[in-house]
Structure 1
């Protein structure tokens, strides 16, 4: 059905996300116009696509030749011309609200009636972005993960006025380009995946800030005992502590002292040569499997399950969407809802209640939906029902 109403795709931005999304759409058979503000910038993005496709061809991962795929991509500088015939426009400019609103304000004047206007953002409000247009029903979030060519997940995010038809068409488009979409049905800060990731990072930082564990101890335990692809501190060094810090500031989330200290000292991670680990004079993440012996990973996992309960209880996403997002977007060994059900939700609840009693911090307060499940006897797999039915 999606092919009947989406033929022409326009991507605004030719940076790593923009040219990656363009490449994915062209590989799926769509004609794509990639636009940026200067011809040399957009041409650089175009050549980056060719380089990526040639790498894929060398690995025998293309169904067509590089030239056939590249022939479906056009470049542009003029925004009006680039979007005039587009059935879906995907904005992929830097993560700044004012900049995105400027783009959507201009889009509103030039995009055809009925076109889907999508923003690729990891945390900014779709409602606020749509507010500068006269057609907020046509605006939706499409959060591709980096790099788009490799990452399977895309979050499809409703703004306050996004029409179901818009979200459904966007969801079908994502499926048609070979990705796995999940609905984010409310425009909450950090959407689904980054809300699940939050406690993985934050609780670890709080524990080290309180001298309750070491960085290497937590990273080793979460990787070698639990099977996460990276420890939380190793992950933050790769992502950039400054990025993490500013996302929390924007969401008015209390920031652990350890994170504050690293950012104040401009120790952002790999890109500055030093973060939680030393990348200039040291070996980077140098934890070993034995470093995590004796560390109780359930404390961090319980906080992640509680975040999932918040998302579900507030009708932001389904349990399946949360688990799919965590596995495909973050590489978690299993989704938090599956983990909670297998561990026993009564155990998760007791852990959170114990933390809340010990520290009194609001973030340890068990979510009402989690309490409701346990009160109803839906404590997980052993009981025959929890987040899921068994």
Structure 2
């Protein structure tokens, strides 16, 4: 199995940008792909913000020189063919929409070298829902990161029945090399381990809001005081991003669909997408 040296990350949203930066910080050459120059300009700002965060939060090995070196290892591209031309590993972090991801893999299959491993960071979709569209089911699996990857450094690795065990082992090894704790999952499970625990918790909070039981601040306060957790569910929603929350909720049951409609009308349509835009359920100071 060829060692991984060149990594391409598709999607430069909240988590995609973190994956790309952490990979570059760990010494790998990274191409960060997004669909437009405007998206890449926003990504450039995210990467610069991550560099500052790594120093401010005293991430191991982070100083002015190392965070700048990481930035220098990231190349931005809005051309998919160019972005994957030399990739040993492509990590897909596009929006959580099945049809969009399937279409992305159909394009990738025609553009990426035969050796390239594909990994999806999908939060809720099964890799087997995507594998037939990759053109290389044996070199495809899921690699799921938690938000704030430098601090919450799990990397859940989940294959399908078709995944080559050598590919699986290579991705586990890669996860360790970029500072993650590889979590090997034995069989496919939508939501992996982390989101199998987290999504029902967040869904319960959404239902409390939809049913008019309490406001987000009261729900969050109750959870923080009652459990000692640092954040409540609506604070987590803001960090994850309300667009991701909308996409996941829209695919749920009636209560979750009602929650999706609520956040679209009152937040997303108003440009309030969470921490990334400075306002979601809460307002955040500008960086």
The 5 Å alignment of 1:279-294 reads: none
Higher relative contact order (CA 8 A, sep 6+): 2
Q: Which moved more, 1:222-231 or 1:19-28?
A: 222-231
Deviation digits for residues 32-84 of structure 1 (CA, Å, limit 9, x no counterpart): 11222333432432343133213433565415434322222222232222212
CA distance in 1: counterparts of 2:56 and 2:218, whole angstroms: 40
Q: Give the unaligned 5+ runs of structure 2.
A: 273-280, 283-287
Q: Is the 8 A contact 1:20 1:147 kept in 2?
A: yes
- Superposition deviation, residue 264 in structure 1: 5.0
Q: Is the 8 A contact 1:157 1:185 kept in 2?
A: yes
The 5 Å alignment of 1:1-390 reads: 5-57=3-55, 61=59, 62=62, 64-202=65-203, 222-232=223-233, 235=236, 244=245, 247=248, 250=251, 254-256=253-255, 262-263=259-260, 265-266=262-263
Q: Is the 8 A contact 2:153 2:181 kept in 1?
A: yes
Q: Is the 8 A contact 1:10 1:86 kept in 2?
A: yes
Pair 83,220 (structure 1): closer, same or farther in 2 beyond 3 Å = closer
Q: Which residue does the alignment assign to 1:311?
A: none
CA distance in 2: counterparts of 1:157 and 1:201, whole angstroms: 23
TM-score (normalizing by structure 2)? 0.75
Pair 269,196 (structure 1): closer, same or farther in 2 beyond 3 Å = farther
TM-score (normalizing by structure 1)? 0.58
- Superposition deviation, residue 125 in structure 1: 2.3
Q: Which moved more, 1:58-67 or 1:158-167?
A: 58-67
- Superposition deviation, residue 158 in structure 1: 1.6
Q: Which residue does the alignment assign to 1:381?
A: none
Task: Please give the root-mean-square deviation of Cα atoms over the aligned residues, in Å.
Answer: 3.7
Q: Give the unaligned 5+ runs of structure 1.
A: 275-282, 285-390
- Superposition deviation, residue 219 in structure 1: 5.3
Alignment size in residue pairs: 270
